[in-house]
Amino acid sequence: MNALEIKNLRASIGEREIVRGLSLEVPKGEVHAIMGPNGSGKSTLAKVIGGHPDYAVTSGEVLMDGLNVLDLEPDDRARRGLFLAFQYPMEIPGVTIANFLRAAVQARLPEGEEIEATEYYAELYQKMDALEMPRNFTSRSVNEGFSGGEKKRCEILQMAMLNPKYAILDETDSGLDIDALRIVSAGVNALRGPNVGILLITHYQRLLDYIVPDFVHVMIDGRIVRSGGKDLALELEEKGYDWIKEELAETANA
Instruction: Quote the least distance from Cβ 74 to ligand ADP, whole Å.
Output: 16
Interaction between residue 205 and ligand ADP (CB under 6 A): no
Q: Closest residue (Cβ) to Mg ion?
A: 43
Interaction between residue 39 and ligand ADP (CB under 6 A): yes
Contact code string over 49-68 relative to ligand ADP, x by CB under 6 A: -----x--------------
Among 9, 31, 43, 131, binds ligand ADP (CB under 6 A): 43
Interaction between residue 43 and Mg ion (CB under 5 A): yes
Q: Measured between alpha carbons, how far is 125 from 8 in angstroms, rounded to an integer?
A: 42
Instruction: Provide the β-strand partners of residue 32.
Output: 199, 215
Torsion of CA 180, 240, 222, 47, to 10 degrees: 0
Q: Which does 202 bind (CB under 5 to 8 A by kind): Mg ion, ligand ADP, none?
A: none
Among 35, 41, 184, 244, binds ligand ADP (CB under 6 A): 41
Question: Which helix H or strand E contains 125, and what residues bound it?
Answer: helix 117-130
Among 38, 118, 136, 253, binds ligand ADP (CB under 6 A): 38
Q: Which does 63 bind (CB under 5 to 8 A by kind): Mg ion, ligand ADP, none?
A: none
Q: Which amino acid is at 242?
A: D
Among 9, 22, 31, 36, binds ligand ADP (CB under 6 A): 36
Interaction between residue 138 and Mg ion (CB under 5 A): no
Q: Measured between alpha carbons, how far is 85 from 105 in angstroms, rounded to an integer?
A: 16
DSSP, residue by residue, 179-191: HHHHHHHHHHHHH
Interaction between residue 172 and Mg ion (CB under 5 A): no
Half-sphere exposure of 193 (CA within 13 A, CB side): 8
Contact code string over 74-113 relative to Mg ion, x by CB under 5 A: -------------x--------------------------
Q: Which does 205 bind (CB under 5 to 8 A by kind): ligand ADP, Mg ion, none?
A: none
Q: Are 49 and 168 in contact (CB under 8 A)?
A: yes
Q: Measured between alpha carbons, how far is 144 from 152 in angstroms, rounded to an integer?
A: 13
Strand order in the sheet with 31-35: 82-85, 166-170, 197-202, 31-35, 215-220, 223-228
Interaction between residue 40 and ligand ADP (CB under 6 A): yes
Instruction: Quote the least distance from Cβ 236 to Mg ion, whole Å.
Output: 16
Q: Measured between alpha carbons, how far is 150 from 48 in angstroms, rounded to an integer?
A: 25
Q: How far apart are the first and last CA of the chain?
A: 37
Binding residues (CB under 6 A) for ligand ADP: these are 13, 18, 36, 38-44, 54
Binding residues (CB under 5 A) for Mg ion: these are 42-43, 87
